[in-house]
């Protein structure tokens, strides 16, 4: 057995780190938390979600529902992609983008067929080549992102919204809005299950699961806010597409037997053993195994071999993903969520389980702009249980925004120590307040926080 001892507490968490420089001064590295959902219609289960390029990238594994959290010191806008493993041993790659903003240390970014199509439209129209080919050249990526402003993105998304008719949820942003990889709960996910995009050098085709073209539009009309009523999908077309079966990849016969110990949530620190012995392929021969471990704080580590032992020192849900590859280079990927409880002497970390936030669609002048997240190693529970009066919250796979939510600046964070909960309070941009200054409202909210014995207040996380 290959035993690999790693102190995972040393992996870089989200936040900031100070490292020495040649002149003896301290150089602060800002770590950013990027979270979202990978989906292909179905969830991007155990997908590898990366920022950068094939030559230099940072990746985090998603859980079975396609939700990922990546901690990265990104300093510029970059492409993101998700490699989604299929049951037939292939991998589907979809692209999205990370839009860098100085001062912001958290972002929600989804990766799905619509984010891919928007970027593919832009690449074909501006760079004269497909997104997949452009992504292979650093100079092409730089040129692609340099012109891909928020306004350009919003225009293409709005045009797709009109083109897809009732199949596209009105006003939905595939990049930044909370995405649930479940067609029964999310209309955009249902659309991805039943319709597909094919982008060429001149046009975009929308196809059904039988490969039939339902509508087609020139790329030029998608880059401008022009009428598409003559090309919009009809209700009959959408209904017929939804009635078609969803194709499933053919399953290849690799039997991956993944044994994880301990099987129950255990208090940190805990030694974890993952064994793949007993796995086999119909091709015969030996399998090779690669392991990716993404911690609850978004940092990742990699291992190899049939048996891996390591130590997890922090509470939270940690995604352990194994890929087995046979002699014919076919592979299968499976994962396991290792739940670890907080140790009595551990440092409290938050947000690994996602959050409950006030959605932009639910914000009005009377609503409180809040976000709630629990300590890693504590179950978040249903966001509906936290709704009350002026507080309306929805699930998000991302930690709470550290600076701005719904265009409202952060007042501060109230930590409920006993219940291991942090409540982020933000300004409501829809509520005009000519009586109090920002600092006065901040002070009032702080006073309300610490009026409950045991609560702690901070103007930053």
Average pLDDT over residues 263-274: 91
The candidate with the shortest Cα–Cα distance to 67, out of 110, 105, 29, is 110
- pLDDT reported for residue 194: 97
Same domain? For 103 and 228 the reply is yes
The model's pLDDT over 20-51, given as tens digits with 9 standing for 90+, comes to 333 344 446 778 899 999 999 899 999 999 99
Query: φ, ψ for residue 364 (rounded to 5)?
Result: -140, 180
Q: What's the CATH number where 287 sits?
A: 2.60.40.10
Domain match, 236 and 272 both: no
Residue 9 confidence (pLDDT): 31
pLDDT above 70 (res 182): yes
Same domain, 385 and 447: yes
Confidence (pLDDT) at 228: 97
Token code pair at residue 94:
């979809």
Long-range contacts of 385-393 (CB under 8 A, 24+ apart): 386/356, 390/366, 391/358, 391/367, 392/358, 392/359, 392/362, 392/367, 393/356, 393/357, 393/358
Residue 174 lies in a domain: yes
> Residues 392-439: pLDDT tens digits?
888 888 889 888 999 899 999 999 988 889 999 999 999 877 788 999
Quick one: pLDDT band at residue 55, thresholds 50, 70, 90? low
- Residue pLDDT, tens place only, 288-297: 999 999 999 9
Amino acid 388: pLDDT: 63
Q: What percent of the chain has pLDDT over 70?
A: 92
The more confidently predicted of residues 458 and 264 is 458
Q: Encode pLDDT of 97-151 as tens digits.
A: 999 988 778 889 999 999 999 999 999 999 999 999 999 999 999 999 999 999 9
pLDDT of residue 3: 33
Same structural domain for residues 156 and 232? yes
Q: Answer yes or no: is 65 within a domain.
A: yes
Identify the domain boundary among 341, 364, 391. 341
250 vs 327 pLDDT, higher one: 327
Q: 190 and 89 in one domain?
A: yes
Q: Any residues with CB less than 8 A from the CB of 257 and at least 6 apart, and which?
A: 276, 277, 278, 279
Q: How many domains in the chain?
A: 3
CATH number for the domain spanning 45: value is 2.60.40.1120
User: Which of 189, 217, 243 is at the close of a domain?
Assistant: 243
Residue-level pLDDT at 13: 43
pLDDT recorded at residue 347: 67
Q: Which of 291, 312, 341 is the last residue of a domain?
A: 341
- Over residues 207-242, the pLDDT tens digits come to 999 999 999 999 999 999 999 999 999 999 999 999
Q: Domain of 280?
A: 254-341
The confidence band for 5, taking pLDDT boundaries of 50, 70 and 90, is very low
Give yes or no for residue 8 having a pLDDT over 60: no
- Looking at the structure, do residues 219 and 280 belong to the same domain, yes or no? no
* Closest to 225 measured CA to CA, from 298, 164, 151: 151
pTM: 0.85
- Co-location of 333 and 393 in the same domain: no
Please check whether residues 229 and 279 belong to one and the same domain: no
Residues 124 and 192 in one domain: yes
């Amino acid at each position: 057995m290959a035993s690999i001892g790693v102190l995972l507490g040393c992996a870089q968490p989200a936040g900031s780190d100070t490292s020495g420089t040649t002149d003896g001064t301290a150089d602060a590295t800002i770590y950013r938390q990027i979270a979202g959902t990978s989906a292909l219609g179905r969830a991007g289960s155990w997908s590898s979600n990366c920022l950068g390029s094939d030559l230099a990238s940072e990746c985090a594994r998603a859980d079975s529902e396609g939700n990922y959290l990546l901690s990265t010191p990104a300093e510029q806008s970059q492409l993101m992609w998700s490699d989604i493993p299929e049951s037939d041993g292939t991998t589907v790659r979809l692209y999205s983008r990370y839009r860098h903003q100085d001062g912001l240390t958290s972002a929600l970014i989804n990766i799905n067929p619509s984010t891919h199509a928007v970027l593919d439209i832009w690449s074909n129209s501006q760079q004269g080549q497909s997104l997949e080919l452009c992504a292979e050249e650093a100079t092409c990526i730089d040129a692609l992102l340099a012109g891909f402003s928020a306004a350009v993105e919003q225009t293409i998304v709005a045009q797709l919204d009109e083109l897809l008719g009732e199949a596209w949820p009105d006003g939905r942003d595939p990049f930044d809005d909370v995405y649930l990889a479940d067609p029964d709960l999310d209309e955009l996910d249902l659309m991805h299950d039943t319709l597909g995009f094919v982008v060429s050098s001149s046009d975009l085709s929308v196809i059904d699961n039988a490969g039939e073209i339902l509508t087609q539009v020139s790329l030029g009309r998608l880059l401008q806010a022009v009428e598409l009523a003559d090309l919009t999908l009809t209700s009959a077309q959408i209904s017929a597409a939804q009635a078609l079966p969803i194709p499933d990849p053919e399953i290849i016969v690799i039997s991956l037997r993944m044994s994880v110990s301990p099987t129950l949530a255990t208090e940190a620190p805990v030694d974890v053993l993952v064994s793949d012995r007993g796995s086999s392929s119909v091709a015969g021969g030996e399998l090779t195994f690669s392991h990716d471990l993404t911690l609850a704080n978004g940092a990742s580590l990699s291992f190899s071999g049939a048996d891996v032992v390591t130590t997890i020192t922090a509470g939270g849900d940690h995604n352990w993903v194994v890929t087995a590859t046979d002699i014919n280079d076919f592979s299968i990927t499976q994962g396991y969520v290792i739940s670890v409880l907080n140790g009595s002497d551990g440092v409290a970390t938050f947000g690994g389980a996602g959050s409950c936030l006030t959605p932009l669609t639910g914000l009005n002048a009377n609503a409180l702009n809040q976000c709630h997240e629990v300590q890693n190693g504590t179950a978040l529970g249903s966001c509906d249980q936290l709704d009350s009066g002026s507080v309306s919250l929805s699930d998000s796979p991302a930690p709470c925004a550290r600076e701005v939510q719904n265009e409202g600046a952060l007042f501060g964070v109230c930590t409920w120590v006993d219940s291991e909960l942090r409540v982020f309070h933000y300004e409501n941009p829809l509520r005009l307040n000519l009586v109090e200054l920002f600092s006065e409202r901040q002070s009032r909210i702080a006073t309300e926080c610490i009026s409950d014995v045991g609560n702690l207040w901070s103007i930053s996380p």
